[in-house]
Structure 1
Amino acid sequence: MIEGIYQFLDSIFGPFILNYHPIWVITVAGAIIGGFYTLIYYFFTDIEKHKKLQELAKEVQKEMREAQKSGDEKKIRKAQQKQLELMRMQSELMKQQMVPMFLTMPLFMIFFGWLRRWYVEVAIAKAPFDFFVFDLFHRWQHSALPPSELGYVGWYFLTSYAVGMILRKLLDMG
């Protein structure tokens, strides 16, 4: 079944992969998928609730610091109770955030399996020096690329992260 999906992806994106440099292919793929993930997250989670929880967390941390500085046991217990309430609210929000993850995880796995067929040992970007993060990616992927070159996984993550950050800023997702 997975081979049929890969053949379908080859029929759609094969000409693009064959006619363009890998850096453009991975950049476009990272932008599309990063944008898609961000939009799914945007539509399936309560952004306002998330923002309120972030503000509440800052307030609770500030209260706890002040209570600990003052040494007042009553204030410390009150702050701890607020922390417990905050943790319960955050766990509810995490359950809500699981839906987008379950929707996108199969797409992610299929897409990366398909890209691996094309770009498994291809250097997408080359740095003028050895970079330890690139080396970490290579060890993780068991790649033979040197520490000065970044493969498709690393370049995808950089692209997807950049596009996601820009979209989150544009959609005021915090």
Structure 2
Amino acid sequence: MIEGIYQFLDDVFGPFMMNYHPLWVITLMGFIIGGFYTLLYYFFTDIEKQKKLQKLAKEVQKEMREAQKSGDEKKLRKAQQKQLELMKMQSELMKQQMVPMFLTMPIFWIFFSWLRRWYTEVAIAKAPFNFFLFDWFHSMYHSALSGSELGYFGWYILSSYVIGMVLRKLLDMG
């Protein structure tokens, strides 16, 4: 079954992958998948509720600090009670956020195992210096890439992060 999915992806994206530099291919894939994840998250979570909870959490933290500084037990208990209510609401919101995560996990694993077939030891981007995190990551996975080279996974993370941040800003997701 997975080979059928890989074949479909090869048919759809194969010509693009063969005709363009891996940097452009991975960037486009990062934009497509990162944008898809962001939009899925946007439609499955209540953004307004999330913003309200963030604001409430800041208020509760402020009340808690003030109560601790003043040493007023009554205020402290009241702030702790609000904190418990806030935790219940946050738990409810987390349940909502689990749906997009469960929907995207299979896509993530299939997509990356398919990309690995094309770009296993290909340097997508090269920095003018050795970056210790790249070196550490490559040594951890016994990669032939040097500390100044970024593979497909790292470049995908950067490009999907950028599109995710831009979309979150455009959609006013906080």
TM-score by length of 2: 0.97
Deviation at 1:139, TM superposition (A): 4.0
Give, in whole Å, the separation in 2 of the partners of 1:103 and 1:9: 19
CA RMSD of aligned residues (A): 1.0
After TM superposition, what 4+ stretches of structure 1 lie above 4 angstroms from structure 2? none
- Report the counterpart of residue 107 of structure 1 in structure 2: 107
In the alignment, does 2:145 pair up with 1:154? no
- Report the counterpart of residue 129 of structure 2 in structure 1: 129
In the alignment, does 2:78 pair up with 1:90? no
Give, in whole Å, the separation in 2 of the partners of 1:101 and 1:167: 18
Give, in whole Å, the separation in 2 of the partners of 1:139 and 1:15: 32
Kindly provide the CA deviation profile for residues 108-141 of structure 1, in whole angstroms up to 9, marking residues without a partner as x: 1100000000001100011111112222432454
Q: Which moved more, 1:11-20 or 1:126-135?
A: 126-135
Paired residue type of 1:121: E
Extract unaligned runs of 5+ from structure 1: none
Number of equivalences = 174
- Report the counterpart of residue 13 of structure 1 in structure 2: 13
Extract unaligned runs of 5+ from structure 2: none
Between the aligned residues of both structures, percent identity stands at: 82
Give, in whole Å, the separation in 2 of the partners of 1:121 and 1:132: 18
TM-score by length of 1: 0.97
- Report the counterpart of residue 70 of structure 1 in structure 2: 70
- Report the counterpart of residue 54 of structure 1 in structure 2: 54
- Report the counterpart of residue 28 of structure 1 in structure 2: 28
Cα contact 1:137–1:154 (8 A) shared by 2? no
Paired residue type of 2:156: Y
Paired residue type of 1:120: T
- Report the counterpart of residue 173 of structure 1 in structure 2: 173
